[in-house]
């Protein structure tokens, strides 16, 4: 165990160090194996995108969806992003994975804009590492969209608050440039980071996604409700649209609608689905009543 390892390391000098590094080597080996697997996954098309509908409260329409990454591991089955994204970020592999995601979504959008709605929009999750590549790397995405005759606002980039906190002028500039060419930007998991929302005065996103931890207890806890209401009022005044994440009950959906939330997403409407399941779902649910 770790304590014994530390003790050994402290009290038996150099020999103890061998003991200590054995445990660390296991972890390193596992990570190394996973990194190899991730490279294979990319080359062999083991990644898949699932899509979760985003419902417009006002029109009751579904013309937005969030793309969520899944890894179909040949031995281990489906692996969820929380178990591999951070390694992909640390190793830089997220850049290639992210480009793959965009290519898939562009293909999907060309279908769905004709099949479902001409303004259908898909949002993707992006990592800070991808912004270190600078505007010109990301502008490749809009170039690809133009080649497919898609307007840039068909794609929304979800970013984390951490990216905005990295007070790098270049990041804010890159995001603004992306918006100027028409992409939309959403701040994901709003309210969960170690951040103040001071950055909102320098940078204006198109959407703010209220994290599911706030939505969870909204019908039971008046404080949670007060926070959601305050977030919505603030966003409205800043001209930012609000999406609530993690809605699991009708009561939550109705309450959020009542306090002026613009969009809703969560298991109550649908879980993330494969492309085929999403198409089947949407062909049945033209309008969602809240």
Residues interacting with ligand C2E, by CB under 6 A? 52, 68-69, 80-82, 85, 94, 101, 124-127, 158, 188-189, 212, 245-248, 266-267, 272
Q: How far apart are the first and last CA of the chain?
A: 52
With CB under 5 to 8 Å by kind, the binding choice for 248 among Mg ion, ligand C2E, none is ligand C2E
SS3 (DSSP) at 205: coil
Q: How far is the CB of 11 from ligand C2E (least distance, A)?
A: 42
- The answer to whether residue 188 forms part of the interface with Mg ion (CB under 5 A) is yes
Q: How far is the CB of 159 from ligand C2E (least distance, A)?
A: 10
Site string for Mg ion, 122-151 (x = CB under 5 A): ---x--------------------------
Residues 196 to 255: which contact Mg ion by CB under 5 A? 245
CA distance 41 to 69: 12
Q: Strand 207-210 to strand 241-244: parallel, antiparallel, or no bridges (unpaired)?
A: parallel
DSSP annotation string for 228-268: HHHHHHHHHHTT-EEEE----SHHHHHHHHHTT--EE-STT
CB nearer to ligand C2E: pick between 37 and 188? 188
CA distance 246 to 116: 24
- The answer to whether residue 262 forms part of the interface with Mg ion (CB under 5 A) is no
- The answer to whether residue 158 forms part of the interface with Mg ion (CB under 5 A) is yes
């Amino acid at each position: 165990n770790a304590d014994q390892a530390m003790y050994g390391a402290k009290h038996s000098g150099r020999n103890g160090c061998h003991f200590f590094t054995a445990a660390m080597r296991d972890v390193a080996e596992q990570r190394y194996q996973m990194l190899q697997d991730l490279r294979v996954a990319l080359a062999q098309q083991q990644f898949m995108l699932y899509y979760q509908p985003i419902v417009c409260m006002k029109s009751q329409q579904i013309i937005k969806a969030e793309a969520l990454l899944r890894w179909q591991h040949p031995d281990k089955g489906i692996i969820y992003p929380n178990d591999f994204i951070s390694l992909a970020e640390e190793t830089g592999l997220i850049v290639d994975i992210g480009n793959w995601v965009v290519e898939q979504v562009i293909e999907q959008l060309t279908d769905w804009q004709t099949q479902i709605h001409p303004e259908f929009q898909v949002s993707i999750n992006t990592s800070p590492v991808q912004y270190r590549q600078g505007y010109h790397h990301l502008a490749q995405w809009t170039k690809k969209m133009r080649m497919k005759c898609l307007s840039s606002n068909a794609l929304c980039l979800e970013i984390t608050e951490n990216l905005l906190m990295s007070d790098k002028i270049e990041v804010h500039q890159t995001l603004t440039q992306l918006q100027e060419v028409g992409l939309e930007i959403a701040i994901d998991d709003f309210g969960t980071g170690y951040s103040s929302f001071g950055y909102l005065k320098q940078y204006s996103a198109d959407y703010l996604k209220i994290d599911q931890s706030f939505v969870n207890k909204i019908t039971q806890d008046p404080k949670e409700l007060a926070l959601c209401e305050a977030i919505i009022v603030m966003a409205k005044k800043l001209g930012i649209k609000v999406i609530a994440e993690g809605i699991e009950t009708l009561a939550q959906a109705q309450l959020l609608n009542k306090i002026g939330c613009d969009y809703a997403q969560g298991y109550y409407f649908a879980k993330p689905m494969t492309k085929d399941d999403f198409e089947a779902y949407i062909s049945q649910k033209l309008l969602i009543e809240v």
